[in-house]
Structure 1
């Protein structure tokens, strides 16, 4: 995967960009001035990041796989050690589907009723391929979302969820926290 050089990253004009950031030359980033990226982040081919006024904040040690999209006016926050599998879609904005108003970005705001709510993925969240995360969702520390799931609302920490509608499956193990400590200690040497 060809990646953007350090100079190309600077030219995009990110709000902040850390060390060892690998972004595919085939990724599309809109409003980079509203995007912050931590250290050790990989963003693969055909990822779309369209940051609205609320911005997109991507922490450290994060992988965003092919064909994933992060789109919306409200903030999207992805904290350290998160992993987004391929074709994940995160929306912090969504049209009103009821028929009460018109839809789509080609229509002036006065004819629409767009929901704009922050989306937060806390530390160690993993989202399976093809999943959709809707405005107002919070995935607490350690949440795992199974493939092809739709998330709307709050997911309690260290839990595994899957499906449409989303269902609690079981508790997620926390062994990875010990591995995180070993990993971070090794980095500090």
Structure 2
């Protein structure tokens, strides 16, 4: 940690491990059992390794022992972010200002979580994913590699809207298969599966599973046409099936 720069009023609790060539902004709080690898930048007023609190009526948050928060090398964490204990973040990730990532979430290499976005607990996010400004990813969702989630997209996981004990048996967020793209302000209902390389148009509401490599739009979302070949993920210059 000798080569790491620390801003004013930064707190690093006993047990935290910080690699070489890191930069910590002002008023940063790093809780114990946080592991920050080399060449990581953390913006002002960010909290790393926070434990979850639980409301009396919460059905998706549990208080339990959690592993350390791990932030992979060469990552950047913006200002006023909160990243919880039990998150595993890969290398070369970027987290925008004011974003929140909850416990028991995994983030793959080179993934972007945009400004003000929220990724709730128990979510799996692959590599090279883009979650843009203000998007909401609910608990127990799955986002595979190379997916794109536009601003203000909303994932949901509770078909019972908070009523009955039966709902607790069925919590499930959406699943996005590799290369799926979701347009701005779209809403995905609980448990839906978006096929590989599928596109959901802006403002759509997805109520059922969608087939791969097709474009859907509307409320509810309906088939429009096939995704053009030049837009498929394997046609993109940054795609690397060897990764």
TM-score, with structure 2 as normaliser:
0.61
State the distance in 1 between where 2:100 and 2:222 align.
Answer: 33
2:109 paired residue among 3, 21, 39: 39
The answer on 1:174 being equivalent to 2:229 is yes
Cα shift at 1:71: 1.4
Matches within 5 A, 1:13-162: 13-30=85-102, 32=103, 34-51=104-121, 55-72=122-139, 75-96=140-161, 103=162, 110=165, 113=167, 115-162=170-217
State the distance in 2 between where 1:178 and 1:94 align.
Answer: 35
In structure 2, the CA distance between the partners of 1:4 and 1:64, relative to structure 1 (3 Å rule), is farther
How many residue pairs get matched?
168
Cα shift at 1:12: 3.3
State the distance in 2 between where 1:92 and 1:120 align.
Answer: 11
In structure 2, the CA distance between the partners of 1:4 and 1:149, relative to structure 1 (3 Å rule), is farther
Deviations 1:95-138 (A, max 9, x none): 34xxxxxx47xxxx54x746523421001111000000011200
State the distance in 2 between where 1:20 and 1:62 align.
Answer: 12
In structure 2, the CA distance between the partners of 1:4 and 1:44, relative to structure 1 (3 Å rule), is farther
Question: Which has more radius of gyration?
Answer: 2
By relative contact order (CA 8 Å, sep 6+), the higher-ranking structure is: 1
Structure with the higher helix share, 1 or 2 = 1
State the distance in 2 between where 1:170 and 1:13 align.
Answer: 43
4+ runs of 1 displaced by more than 6 Å?
none
Cα shift at 1:42: 0.8
Alpha-carbon RMSD across the aligned residues, in angstroms, is: 2.9
Structure with the higher strand share, 1 or 2 = 1
In structure 2, the CA distance between the partners of 1:48 and 1:15, relative to structure 1 (3 Å rule), is closer
Alignment partner of 2:138: what SS? strand
TM-score, with structure 1 as normaliser:
0.76
Conserved? CA contact 2:87–2:101, under 8 Å: no
Cα shift at 1:46: 1.2
State the distance in 2 between where 1:166 and 1:122 align.
Answer: 17
Structure 2 portions without partners, runs of 5+: 1-24, 26-39, 49-68, 71-82
